[in-house]
């Protein structure tokens, strides 16, 4: 078991892996003021990318992706669990972090390790290998009608780096409407700088109005839904759906097989905003795959002291400052 800087050290082709293993992505992650590592399990020939943020008195790590073998493929469930257990022991023995959190919402584990906080979660994925007409029929009838109407009204969909500021306008508008914090435009400029050609910026507009925007990334087999937004003046109801559908077609033309549309929280209250987002994605042909996320506490004293301090601060400011949004999640402890 050891840490490596790049997949090049293993003499394997990084392009066989998801983009989150590539040097370009690891460099971008490091740019956000954290340490980035690749853990190599020599026994199972498996690789795990992860990052570590050093907070005031807590070293907080995050999985960047789940373990994959040296061919860039998922491990079997039992092998995945063994690799994870050895990885956690490595983190503890080398005092690399105090706690490690799950990866982004569109990445899920098949299993969970011992003595951790875990929860069942799903991911929403669109199969881009399906022929266009069959895929369109998987979109619900009302959305199909709205997409056709948007096209008839000559709504303009554009993709390209030149649309960054227009996309950011939609993203900023959505953040303001929902009262959530947003990334600065420099964050998106950094992604486009590090990834060169493996990102996609799309907008939907007409001559006088901008309706919606997306900012996604992709590798050689899949694309990943990253950020999107809408403005207040969507008088063409199907504009965003039109944009998403055209993105599916563009990704298909590049030979991509999957579009990872985001996470799926299994127990969301119907009144939660995320519930409607999940329904929308399902109505745009996304299917659910279930799996797990987990939080592994390496140093209980440091972690729970920090968590307590966050809870106190949350009460003072009247806003949840916890590490994860617990909406729709049933968190349990494994033995």
Domains with residue ranges and CATH for the chain: 2-123+291-333 (3.40.630.30), 129-256 (3.40.630.30)
Residuewise pLDDT in 10s, the chain (335 residues): 899 999 999 999 899 999 999 999 999 999 878 999 999 999 999 999 999 999 888 999 999 999 999 999 999 999 999 999 999 999 999 999 999 999 998 899 999 999 999 999 999 999 999 999 999 999 999 999 999 999 998 889 999 999 999 999 999 998 888 888 899 999 999 999 999 899 999 999 887 788 999 999 999 999 999 999 998 876 778 899 999 999 999 999 999 999 999 999 999 999 888 899 999 999 999 999 999 999 999 999 999 998 888 788 888 877 777 788 888 999 999 99
Residue 56 burial (10 A CB sphere; 0-12, 13-18, 19+): exposed
Cα–Cα distance measured from residue 8 to residue 56, given in angstroms and rounded to the nearest whole number? 34
Q: Note the pLDDT of residue 330.
A: 94
Q: Note the pLDDT of residue 192.
A: 94
H-type alpha helices, the chain:
23-31, 77-93, 132-138, 141-152, 164-178, 185-195, 239-253, 273-282, 300-317
Say if residues 266 and 120 touch (Cβ distance below 8 Å): yes
Return all residues near 219 (Cβ < 8 A) that are at least 6 apart.
15, 17, 18, 19, 22, 198
Q: Note the pLDDT of residue 233.
A: 73
Q: Note the pLDDT of residue 319.
A: 74
Cα–Cα distance measured from residue 89 to residue 319, given in angstroms and rounded to the nearest whole number? 35
Name beta bridge partners: 213: 203, 229
Give the CA distances from residue 83 to residues 42, 48, 235, in Å, rounded to whole numbers and listed in that order. Answer: 10, 9, 51
Supply the pTM of this predicted model: 0.93
């Amino acid at each position: 078991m050891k840490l490596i800087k790049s997949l090049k050290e293993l003499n394997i082709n990084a392009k066989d892996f998801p983009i989150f293993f590539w040097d370009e992505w690891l460099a971008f992650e490091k740019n956000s003021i954290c340490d980035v590592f690749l853990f190599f399990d020599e026994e199972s020939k498996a690789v795990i990318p992860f990052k570590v943020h050093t907070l005031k008195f807590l070293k907080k790590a995050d999985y960047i992706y789940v373990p994959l073998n040296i061919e860039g493929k998922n491990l079997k469930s039992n092998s995945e669990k063994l690799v994870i257990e050895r990885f956690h022991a490595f983190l503890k023995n080398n005092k690399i972090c105090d706690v490690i959190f799950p990866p982004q919402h569109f990445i899920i584990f098949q299993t969970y390790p011992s003595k951790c906080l875990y929860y069942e979660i799903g991911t929403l994925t669109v199969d881009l290998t399906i022929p266009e007409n069959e895929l369109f029929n998987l979109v619900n009838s009302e959305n199909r009608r709205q997409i056709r109407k948007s096209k008839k009204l000559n709504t303009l969909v554009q993709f390209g780096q030149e649309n960054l500021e227009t996309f950011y306008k939609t993203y900023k508008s959505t953040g303001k409407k929902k009262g959530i914090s947003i990334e600065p435009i420099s964050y998106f400029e950094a992604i486009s700088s590090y990834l060169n050609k493996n990102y996609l910026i799309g907008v939907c507009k007409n001559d006088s109005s901008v309706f919606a925007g997306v900012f996604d990334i992709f590798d050689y087999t899949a694309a990943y839904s990253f950020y999107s937004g809408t403005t207040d003046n969507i008088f063409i109801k199907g504009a965003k759906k039109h944009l998403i559908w055209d993105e599916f077609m563009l990704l298909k033309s590049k030979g991509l097989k999957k579009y990872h549309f985001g996470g799926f929280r299994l127990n969301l209250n119907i009144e939660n905003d995320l519930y409607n987002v999940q329904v929308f994605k399902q109505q745009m042909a996304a299917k659910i795959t279930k799996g797990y996320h987990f939080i592994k506490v390496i140093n209980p004293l440091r972690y729970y002291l920090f968590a307590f301090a966050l809870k106190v601060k949350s009460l003072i400011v009247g806003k949840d400052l916890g590490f994860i949004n617990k909406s729709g999640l049933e968190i349990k402890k494994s033995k």
